[in-house]
Structure 1
Amino acid sequence: MRQRRLRVELRRSRDGSGLTQDQVAESLDWSLSKVIRIESGAVNISTTDLRALLSLYGVAEERIAELVTLARAARERAWWSGYKKVISQQYYDLIGYESAAAAIRQFEPLVIPGLLQTQEYAHAYISGIISPERRGDVDALVEVRMRRQEILERDHPPLLFFIVDESTVRRQIGGPRVMREQLRHLVELASHPQVVIEVVPFTAGVHPGLQGAFTILEFASAEDDDVLHLESPRDMRVTRDLQEAVVTYRETFEQLRELSLRPEGTAVLLNRLAEEL
């Protein structure tokens, strides 16, 4: 996300200056391919080159300092880069978008969302679905899931809206004790000022969420398109190219909220189910 914001700002600044890529290359005595690679994100840009570009474009010094800070941050190694051997590229991208999101809206029809799972629940779930040849990756995958939840511990955490089908809070993944602790964890998380958790009850009957899990990730900058994450038992898709679909899924999310027990009714259900286990 940081790299993308930097690329967008560089292209906008050049457009604002009225310069073409050829003119930039000639002014700085660079090759045209260097300018193209920088703007496309094919190569990282040094702070020296960044300052040279922005000065050429007539960008104010204060803004240059902000973008230099952004460029340095973009080169930092993300924690999830250490798990490339055990997670897919789609999952890798999702974590990156989560870390930059200002708001996340997620619906799950089958299991508790990963950002809300306890460690024991996550271990039981991942162990139960992973293929035999990947048994050795279970602990690392659980660790990834737990580290993703650190976004709630930030000084300015994103807004998190979760809607789940009632089946997710009744299915005893890991057994009664693990599920009881998971339900209590949900109640605790729901008290967080940035978290909303709602359950669509069985009495709602057929609803649009039965078509599958989805997540919409929104960002603070208007320049950053929303990201849609679609997941099925055997496939994951993360895209920012389907903005019309994002609108449709956001409407679906609001329809599910109308069918839900709302936060208050959800808390009553979760507490009751935990006491019954």
Structure 2
Amino acid sequence: MSAPSAALQRLRLRTELRKARTRAGLTQRQVAAKMEWSSSKLIRIEAGEVGISVNDLRPLLAAYGITESRRVEPLLDLARNSRKMPFSEYRDLFGKEFLQYLAFESSASIIRQFNSLQLPGLLQTEEYGRAIMRSYDSSAAEETLDRYVEARLLRQELLMSDEGSQLFFILDESVIRRQVGGRGVMRAQLERLAELAVRPRINILILPFSAGAHAGMQGPFTHFEFEADEMPDSMYVENPRGDSYTSSDPEETGRYLERFWDLEDLCIKDGVPDLLRRVAERLEEGSDDLVVLLNQADSTQNR
């Protein structure tokens, strides 16, 4: 079995530190004063935003009354092994919430994601991803776009092996019909999706327009489960304004998990690879393009 990722070990460490402080009956402010730290330093450690050195962790554990070697050493190991977080070289591009998302993504045993407007980053081709990012900021320097694309492609290493996380993606029908980047780019993207949909760990489901109104119309979300028993489920939600947040609150993560299952019941599950290929072919013909259909109607009326 491979060693746990740095992201998972940091997540486990922050969870243990929060529990230890709570058991000791101390507030973050009291601990910061005792350690002669700023309150923000402890907050960032407990949020998993930064690592903690072994030299800082030893006195912190002592402040929590944890001094026995059998309890201290495993926590020190977590600190040693969690210093290098995934994608830390992209901190200038991504906010702390999305960096936390990337930590969850690289460590989860099950990822469930619903998208209503665009394909998840894990499934995007380079050309599709570049078109999306260019639409967000048409003035972005090419070098910046290159780094965004580079980070996205690095994330997709999760897809390469037949072993690892179980991935479930629910895509609204609009996602596979919107011509991001033009017909050629979108056709290549749909063909890529069809290839991914036959892999054993990857489950792609389509939520059809015929499902009508549904809970997913409130917006996209991602739910994470972890193999380690002590790691709670987590979730990530982003709204159209770009605001996002992560949560490990059991009530909230449970609600989103149930929402995912409800959406799953409305989805097309069988024959998805063939369906995606057919959509790609019809896209090339233009037969499902509303603009084409409208032009055809105008042409008929003018005869």
Q: Establish whether TM, by shorter chain, passes 0.5.
A: yes
| C-alpha contact (below 8 Å) 2:163/2:201 kept by paired residues | no
SS at match of 1:255: helix
TM-score, normalised via structure 1 length: 0.79
> What is the correspondence of 1:115-264 to structure 2 with a 5 Å cutoff?
115-130=122-137, 132=139, 137-153=144-160, 156-262=163-269, 264=270
Give secondary structure in 2 for the equivalent of 1:107: strand
Equivalent position of 1:33 in the other structure: 35
Q: Give 3-state SS (helix, strand or coil) of 2:271's partner.
A: helix
TM-score w.r.t. structure 2 length? 0.73
Q: In the aligned structure 2, how far is the partner of 1:20 from the partner of 1:4? A: 22
Unaligned stretches of 5+ in structure 1?
22-30
Deviation at 1:240, TM superposition (A): 1.6
1:112 aligns with 2:119: yes
Residues 63-92 of structure 1, C-alpha deviation per residue, up to 9 Å, x if partnerless?
76654442221112x341111112222222
Structure 2 residue matching 1:235: 3-state secondary structure:
coil
CA contact (8 A) 1:109 1:212 kept: yes
Q: Deviations over 1:118-150 (max 9, x none)?
A: 111101111112253566522211212111222
Q: Map 1:58-137; keep pairs closer than 5 Å.
A: 58-60=68-70, 66-76=74-84, 78-130=85-137, 132=139, 137=144
Q: Which residue of 2 aligns with 1:25?
A: none
Show structure 1 runs of 4+ deviating over 6 A.
11-16, 34-40, 51-54
1:27 matched to which residue of 2?
A: none
Contact 1:112 1:168 (8 Å CA) reproduced:
yes
Aligned counterpart in structure 1 of residue 278 of structure 2, from 261, 268, 272: 272
Indicate the larger mover: 37-46 or 245-254.
Answer: 37-46
Two-structure CA RMSD over aligned residues (Å): 3.4
- Identical counterparts, % of pairs: 37
Structure 2: runs of 5+ lacking an equivalent: 1-7, 27-32, 285-303
1:239 positional shift: 2.0
2: CA distance, partners of 1:103 / 1:255 = 17
Aligned pair count reads: 262
Stretch deviating more after TM superposition (264-273 or 134-143): 134-143
Amino acid at match of 2:276: L
Secondary structure of the 1:104 match is strand
